[in-house]
Amino acid sequence: MTSPMTSSDNLLLLTLNVNGEEHEVITEPRRTLVDVLRHDLRLTGTHVGCEHGICGACTVLVDDRPARACLMFAAQAEGARIRTVESLADPATGELGDLQRSFTEHHGLQCGFCTPGFLMLADGFLAERPEATKEEIREVVAANLCRCTGYQTIVEAIDSCATARRAACAKTCTTIEETACS
């Protein structure tokens, strides 16, 4: 007679790199990345909406690219660099990052449920396309759902942050007589 399978037969030990720190997690193979982030690591800034890859509330960066954390198993993220919305603020002071401040200044959020997903979507996108036009930003934010803002203020917030980053970059380059970030 075979012995019944115990829960420990079905557990994995994962090492996940989240926001620059290594975390060991014991979990079932079928658990999603978003559940492990929220429930095991207590990083509840990442939200869960549809759990079907539609709304984008669960967007995080996986190796710098936006990904739906509800569509990934946590095990699939082992070995990757994961970044959540908690990484945007200054870890020492808690001061909001420039993208977060821009959302606040441009009223890019109302209820805020979608906001972590939009922030990570925008952060990943601007890292890849710092010269993005407003039209490109508009296309990118269409990947996520917001039922409150009408999107215009989100586009304004991302565009304003991108503009400020370019200005700061150009100033730095002028100062050190380089053009690496232009």
Q: Which residues bind ligand FES (CB under 6 A)?
A: 48-51, 53-58, 68, 70, 109-114, 146-149
Least distance between ligand FES and beta carbon 81 (Å):
20
Nearer to ligand FES, 26 or 111 (CB): 111
Least distance between ligand FES and beta carbon 94 (Å):
22
Nearer to ligand FES, 17 or 113 (CB): 113
Nearer to ligand FES, 107 or 129 (CB): 107
Nearer to ligand FES, 87 or 144 (CB): 144
Least distance between ligand FES and beta carbon 149 (Å):
5
Amino acid present at 39: H
Question: 């203020």: which residue's tokens?
Answer: 153
Least distance between ligand FES and beta carbon 89 (Å):
19
Amino acid present at 5: M
Least distance between ligand FES and beta carbon 18 (Å):
17
Written as one string, the DSSP assignment of the chain is -PPPPPGGGG-EEEEEEETTEEEEEEE-TT-BHHHIIIIIS--TTS--S-SSSSS-TTEEEETTEEEETTSSBGGGGTTSEEE-GGGSS-TTT-PPPHHHHHHHHTT--SS-SSHHHHHHHHHHHHHH-TT--HHHHHHHHTTS--SSS-SHHHHHHHHHHHHHHHHHHHHHHHHHT--TT-
Amino acid present at 137: I
Nearer to ligand FES, 53 or 130 (CB): 53
